[in-house]
Structure 1
Amino acid sequence: MTPAQVLGLVALLAFALFPAYWMVSTALDPHAATRGGSLLPRAISTEHFAYVVTDAGFGRYLLNSALVAIVTVTVSSLVALLAAVAVARFAFPLRRQILVAVLVAQMVPLEALVIPLFLQARTLGMLNSLLGLAIVYLAFSLPFAVWQLRGFVAAVPVEVEEAAYIDGCGWWQMFRHVLFPLVAPGLVATSVFSFITAWNEFIFALTFLQSDRRYTVAIGLQKFFGEHSADWGPIMAASTLITVPVVVFFLLVQRNLVSGLSAGAVKG
């Protein structure tokens, strides 16, 4: 690389990483309220994190978000994989229309669904319920997951499955030992999307959840904002705690995520 390219890369990284640095450094600065424009914190302390997790009850919000995200990712991955196998491998009436309907459902703006889903959840008695919120996130995640996984299933040659049948495998054995390992990278890619949807979503969580004990992290963060002021130390500490699980999840699946996204773009 030429010096100009290195300089450009360093400038790009600095521009991209500076917000994260500012967030973490402010969270660790016990004098965050009076920090001003100083690039370096005046001291290092974890008192903001301790306050956020214990006194402010943010630990419960993290647990609530984790439960909703786990349910959403697990159920959406299982249902989407089975649905993708069905539309990619089996011929049945209205198959093409179902695929188009799945794609159209993904295009609908989420804000347009707030009131209809709120009324439906109220009718079903699922307001102020983490399970009800997980079901809503599941409905958001499934269209993308089915459409993405369909391409992975279709890319697997049918002859591979037929060879497994010839060797004596039943359908579930073939699915478990042959098809599932081949589409696993695509499953990782769709799981990341489902996780981010469930972890970061704010509008539906604010609309559906009414009890402080059931708040998710997105709603809990706004508690640190006053009408005319903001407590920046706890805000940045809470923001850091929200960011860490997403970063860890990406680091764990990044290799499969890259291969999954690139493979899914080859054949659909």
Structure 2
Amino acid sequence: MINSGGNKTRFIVVGLFALVMVFPFYFMVVLSFSPNNATLKYPPQLLPTNFTFSNYVEAWQSNDFQLYFLHSIWVSIISTVLGTIIACGAAFVVSRYNFFGRKLIYRIFLGSMMVPSMTFILPQFKEMEHLHLLNSLNGLILVYTAGMIPFTTFLMKGFFDDIPVELEDAVMIDGGGKWTLFWRVMMPMAMPSLVTAVLFNFMGGWDDYTMALTFINDPNKWTLPIALQLFQGQHSSAWGMVFAASVIQIVPIIAIFIVFQRHIVKGLMAGAVKG
């Protein structure tokens, strides 16, 4: 009976925390389907009044929203692919090869994860300026890629370390090399951790505001998080459109998480715990 009561208490507490976390998103969705004159009503409406899709249509068609959406898609996908491939290779090398400075390199990766990303803005800005990549989507891709590598390396190394050495020996006996071991054995086995890394990397590029605002000055090259400010005026804001645009930005992340949630949980458990 004590355990049953404890389980109920934990369930209630977790349920309350979940409600607190989900309610702001729910309320944003409600307001996104409400006319602008109903978004600031008091008391707040928990269900849409005069349900309408016009906010989504207007948000998608105004302020070059579609262009900014494509910019975010391009930057997030390319940086995720590059960062994940480089980090997986680095994780494999650090996990399977013994060489001078191996531990030091891995500790540098870990140490960089403990430093706030804002600390790197000035050095990265100077480096992009030196490479003539300021105000460029390609420069932003490089910045995002560099930021993705430490965490992905940490996550993937933890999974690679857990793969038995005997499996590697079996591949070598069958005539396979390190390349075969990496691409045809380890990477398929590491799929849960790989999916987790891809999702976190994509989210990092998709949701970033500070880096994009720092490195991109041309409004024609803005990404979606920066473009959302265009829906907020100096004296008034079309809050229905603001919330609709915000929902459009969030939906891809939620959809990806729902589809791959099992892989994400397995990946975090398999890679991060023993890493």
**TM-score bin (small chain):** over 0.9
- Which residue among 219, 229, 239 is the counterpart of 1:222? 229
Superposed displacement of residue 120, structure 1? 1.7
Matched ranges for 1:104-183 at <5 A: 104-183=111-190
Query: Separation in 2 of the partners of 1:9 and 1:201?
Result: 29
Q: Determine the structure 1 residue equivalent to 2:24.
A: 19
Q: Tell me if the contact between 1:31 and 1:42 (Cα under 8 Å) persists in the aligned partners.
A: no
Q: What's the offset of the Cα at 1:175?
A: 2.2
1:267 and 2:262 correspond: no
Deviations 1:167-214 (A, max 9, x none): 232332232222112222111121122111101111110011112221
Letter of the structure 1 residue corresponding to residue 227 of structure 2: G
Deviates further, 45-54 or 24-33? 24-33
Which deviations, in whole Å up to 9, do the C-alpha atoms of 1:107-163 show, x marking residues without a partner?
222222222222221221111111110110111110111111111111101110111
Write out aligned runs for 1:62-73 (5 A): 62-73=69-80
Q: 2:60: which partner in 1? A: 53
Deviates most, 126-135 or 35-44: 35-44
2:108 to 101, 113, 118: 101
State the SS of the aligned residue for 1:128. coil
8 Å Cα contact 2:140/2:215 also seen in 1 = yes
Cα offset for 1:84?
A: 0.6
- 1:9 is displaced (CA, Å) by 5.8
Question: How far apart, CA to CA, are the structure 1 residues paired with 2:23 and 2:53?
Answer: 20
State the partner residue of 1:39. 46
CA spacing shift, 1:112–1:48, aligned 2, 3 Å? same
Code of the aligned partner of 1:252: V
Structure 1 CA distance, aligned partners of 2:206 and 2:39? 31
Deviation at 1:252, TM superposition (A): 2.1
* Superposition deviation, residue 38 in structure 1: 2.1
The letter of the residue matching 2:91 is: A
Q: How many residue pairs get matched?
A: 268
Farther-moved stretch of structure 1 (15-24 vs 128-137)? 15-24
Match of 1:199 among 202, 206, 213: 206
User: Does the 8 Å contact 2:31/2:39 carry over to 1?
Assistant: no
In structure 2, distance between residues paired with 1:34 and 1:80: 45
Q: Please, which moves more after superposition, 174-183 or 200-209?
A: 174-183
2:42 is the counterpart of 1:30: no
How far off is 1:11 after superposition?
4.2
* Residue type at the aligned position of 2:61: T
- The 1:112/1:266 distance shift into structure 2, 3 A limit, reads closer
Scaled by the length of structure 1, the TM-score of the pair is 0.93
Q: 1:261 to 1:4 in 2, by over 3 A?
A: closer
The change in CA–CA distance for 1:141 and 1:42 in structure 2 (over 3 A counts) is same
Aligned residue type for 1:79: I
Alpha carbons of structure 1 residues 4 and 164: separation in structure 2 relative to 1, 3 Å: closer
- The percentage of counterpart residues that share the same residue type is 35
Secondary structure in 1 aligned to 2:190?
Answer: helix
Instruction: Tell me if structure 1 keeps the 8 A contact 2:36–2:239.
Output: no
Per the TM alignment, residue 265 of structure 1 is displaced from its structure 2 partner at its CA by 3.3
1:190 aligned to 2:197? yes
- Unpaired segments ≥5 residues, structure 1: none
Q: Root-mean-square deviation (CA), in Å?
A: 2.0
